[in-house]
Amino acid sequence: MKFKEIIRVSLNSLRTNMLRSLLTMVGIIIGVAAVIMIVAIGKGSTATITSQINSMGNNLLMIYPYAPYDGSSSMSFNQTKGISLKDIDALEQQKAVAEVAPSAMTNADITWSRNKVSGQIEGTSLAFVHVRKLSLAQGRSFTHYEVDKQMNVAVLGSDAARNIFGPDASRAVGETIMIKQLPFKVVGVLANSNSNMSNSGQQVYVPITTGMERLGNMSIQQVNASATSEEKIDQASAEIRQVLRVRHELKPSEGDDFQIMTQTEILKTVSGVDRIMNMLLAGVAAIALGVGGVGIMNIMLVSVTERTREIGIRKAIGAQRSDIMLQFVAEAVFLSLMGGLVGVMVGLGGAKLLEKFVQMPIVYSIEPVLYSFLCCMAVGVLFGVYPARKASKLRPIDALRYE
């Protein structure tokens, strides 16, 4: 039997039972669509995060007030001394360190006139604009005097300004807002920033001294620092580590109770997370396609039973075992490939909708589409072989007697 004839007969058989064929493909469709969407979202998120990290400059260091977890450290977050304002002062004195911007967070209600919104308050220093590569649309940042004297001044992110003052946020500078029942004068508004990691547009920034003294329950959760140059990044990291170990009175045998990450290390972490997500995705895809494959095998076994007399007649007029086997394998492969094709279209369409209506970053690539089709073909062959072998082994005389 010619290959073209096998394909024609297989397609005719699938068209005869169109509804059953569509229902059989559901498992494959869902599995492939999920893979396409998750890969597109994952690649988009990774690309966005990488771009955001790169936009902050090659001389960036991030310091966290907890020990790096290596699986063996017994030091918990609560056992660390944290990072104090005096630690920040000491870091600013280091030769290879250009600027230091601590970050302490709290949530609070913000009131202006009759408008009341919930927002995130970040206590920081006047260096935060330069360290994070931000720019001001209106007004100015804090001054050294305002930080030293714990003055009630605030710089608003662009989104925060719109939330508080409405679409016309140009009125913000000079106005007084209430944070936890305390008056704060708005001295600046940040420009829109689509390339910064810190959700800067949604924050309300106050001097860290003011926040920790008057807004309560605020501690430094992160420190952004910049080296004097890209070449001095390792020197700056070493100086910061030495200062914090001395100030935290750590013994030589004790590990750090803080963590310092350079841009390169942050990017490595992002890549590691991306690899783990890809492994999990591969597992989910294997399960979904396996379930779809079992569905195909079940339907093919039913089809073999229903078409027993047809198989007997074909064998009686000269069809070979290989012809029968190839036909049923071809039907299983076509079912799987058509499910894969529909799944790819559903996945790409779903990703496009998320990109348009939910504003999710999406990156499309050909690799998951090709892998999906290869996997679908493999599933069709793997789960179609057993029903095909069963059909090919039927004896013509027994098949013709079947009612």
For residue 220, give both structure tokens. 């430094």
Residues 248 and 122 both lie in one domain: yes
Partner residues linked to 153 by β-bridges: 185
Residues 28 and 91 both lie in one domain: no
Cα(140)–Cα(170) distance, integer angstroms: 13
Residue 194: per-residue pLDDT = 57
Residue in 196, 127, 131, 183 with CA at minimum distance from that of residue 157: 196
Residues 122 and 65 both lie in one domain: yes
Residues 96 and 232 both lie in one domain: yes
Last residue of a domain, one of 243, 262, 281: 262
Residue 265: per-residue pLDDT = 83
Residues 241 and 300 both lie in one domain: no
Cα(188)–Cα(155) distance, integer angstroms: 5
Cα(278)–Cα(62) distance, integer angstroms: 27
Cα(371)–Cα(201) distance, integer angstroms: 39
For residue 226, give both structure tokens. 């910049």
Pick out the chain residues at pLDDT < 50. 73, 75-78, 196
Residue 53: per-residue pLDDT = 74
- Full domain range(s) for residue 299: 3-51+269-401
Contact 257, 87 (CB under 8 A): no
Contact 104, 122 (CB under 8 A): yes
Residues 106 and 168 both lie in one domain: yes
Quick: pLDDT tens for 146-192.
999 999 999 999 989 999 998 777 889 999 999 999 999 999 999 88
Q: Per residue, what are the HEC states of the chain?
A: CCHHHHHHHHHHHHHHCHHHHHHHHHHHHHHHHHHHHHHHHHHHHHHHHHHHHHHCCCCEEEEECCCCCCCCCCCCHHHCCCCCHHHHHHHHCCCCEEEEEEEEEEEEEEEECCEEEEEEEEEECCCHHHHCCCCEEEECCCCHHHHHCCCCEEEECHHHHHHHHCCCHHHCCCCEEEECCEEEEEEEEECCCCCCCCCHHHEEEEEHHHHHHHHCCCCEEEEEEEECCHHHHHHHHHHHHHHHHHHCCCCCCCCCCCEEEEHHHHHHHHHHHHHHHHHHHHHHHHHHHHHHHHHHHHHHHHHHHHCHHHHHHHHHCCCCHHHHHHHHHHHHHHHHHHHHHHHHHHHHHHHHHHHHHCCCCCCCCCHHHHHHHHHHHHHHHHHHHHHHHHHHCCCHHHHHHCC
Residues 217 and 296 both lie in one domain: no
Number of domains in the chain: 2
Burial of 221 (0-12, 13-18, 19+ CB in 10 A): middle
Cα(288)–Cα(320) distance, integer angstroms: 35
Q: Output b/e per residue, 342-359; b: 16+ Cβ within 10 A.
A: bbbebbbebbeebbeeee
Last residue of a domain, one of 262, 295, 324: 262
Determine how many CB atoms are found less than 10 A away from the CB of residue 337: 18
- Model pTM above 0.85: no
Burial of 12 (0-12, 13-18, 19+ CB in 10 A): exposed
Residue 200: per-residue pLDDT = 64
Residues 223 and 338 both lie in one domain: no
Residues 325 and 242 both lie in one domain: no
Residues 10 and 93 both lie in one domain: no
Last residue of a domain, one of 262, 278, 307: 262
Residues 297 and 219 both lie in one domain: no
Residue in 34, 32, 16, 14 with CA at minimum distance from that of residue 24: 14
Contact 333, 377 (CB under 8 A): yes
Q: Which residue has the tokens 């990291």?
A: 237
Residue 78: per-residue pLDDT = 46
For residue 39, give both structure tokens. 């890969």
Residues 96 and 24 both lie in one domain: no
Residue 111: per-residue pLDDT = 93
